[in-house]
Amino acid sequence: MANPTPDVPSVPILLLGDAGVGKSTFLSRLTLGNTAPSAPFTPTPLPTLHDLNQPFPFDIRMYNRPYRFEFSDTSSPSNYTLLDPAVIVLCYSIADPASLANLRTKWIRIAEDHFNPDDRIPIIVLGLQRDVRGREDYRGSVRPSAQGSSPPLPSSGILDTTSISDPVDDNDSDNNGDDEEEDVKPLNPRTFTYPQEALRLAQEMRCDRYCECSALTGELFREVVEDLARTAALTTTEKGGRTEGWGCVGM
């Protein structure tokens, strides 16, 4: 990895969160660049990243000057607790409510104890795998993806359905009940997290910002990167990147 020139600020950013929530996919999408809002999004195969190459650099120009953001996560070849991040991103999977709960019970404590004892580092909560939420239909079942089949939802054990059957008449329940149960798998109401639920938790943890995206489909990805970039750039100023007061700003 080439070192930035002396006049280019380098901002280390650390992603924390459970394994499997989508941190690697987010970083893979980030390495492709092309995040400018004016650039049309095109589906592109995501590269495979190697942990030994951390931190992953991301160069951007904003506020009429260049910046380099260096992203690491818990798979860093160095012990991540020994890193010195300027921004912390707490990641969870929208498809796995337990990963959101773990932000409160585990990851915010690690962030505060190891990196932020003086409360100077901005902390952002990032919801990943947003595309899962968009595939729920009004009956609480999961629709197949546009390709005709849906990838399994992490930690849910719920199968995607291919159709929604008509309501079964009571007189035919003995004959058709088993078939309908096979055709439609109800979605556990706790299979995914709503944005207001995660925002409330971020506010309770006194984090600075909340945002969410799907790195797989690119939905809101550019907006999230722009949000992260603004916060990271502010850490190089005297004011810093913390949100004024105790409010948590939603994207």
Q: What local confidence, expressed as pLDDT, does residue 139 receive?
A: 43
Q: What local confidence, expressed as pLDDT, does residue 135 receive?
A: 67
CA distance 153 to 235: 36
State which residues form the domain around 167. Answer: 140-191
Kindly report the length of the chain.
251
Quick check: bond before 12 cis, omega within 30?
A: no
53 and 151 together in one domain: no
Q: Is residue 101 part of a domain?
A: yes
CA distance 247 to 163: 43
The conformation of residue 8, written as its DSSP 8-state character, comes to: S
103 and 162 together in one domain: no
| 51, amino acid identity | D
Q: Is residue 74 part of a domain?
A: yes
234 and 149 together in one domain: no
Q: Is residue 4 part of a domain?
A: no
120 and 221 together in one domain: yes
Contact (Cβ atoms closer than 8 angstroms) between residue 228 and residue 241: no
183 and 208 together in one domain: no
110 and 226 together in one domain: yes
Q: What local confidence, expressed as pLDDT, does residue 2 receive?
A: 56
Using DSSP's 3-state secondary structure scheme, residue 97 falls into helix
Using DSSP's 3-state secondary structure scheme, residue 226 falls into helix
CA distance 28 to 56: 9
85 and 156 together in one domain: no
Q: Is residue 59 part of a domain?
A: yes
Of 191, 212, 229, which closes a domain? 191
Which CATH number do you get for residue 44? 3.40.50.300
The number of domains in the chain is 2
What are the phi and psi torsion angles at 250 (to 5°)?
-90, 150
Of 191, 206, 222, which closes a domain? 191
Mean pLDDT by 10 residues, the chain (251 residues): 71 96 94 62 78 91 92 87 94 96 97 90 96 63 42 36 39 47 48 92 95 92 94 91 68 58
Q: Kindly write down the DSSP assignment for every residue of 51-94, as one continuous string.
A: GGGPSEEEEEEETTEEEEEEEEETT-SS-GGG---SEEEEEEET
165 and 67 together in one domain: no
CA distance 49 to 25: 9
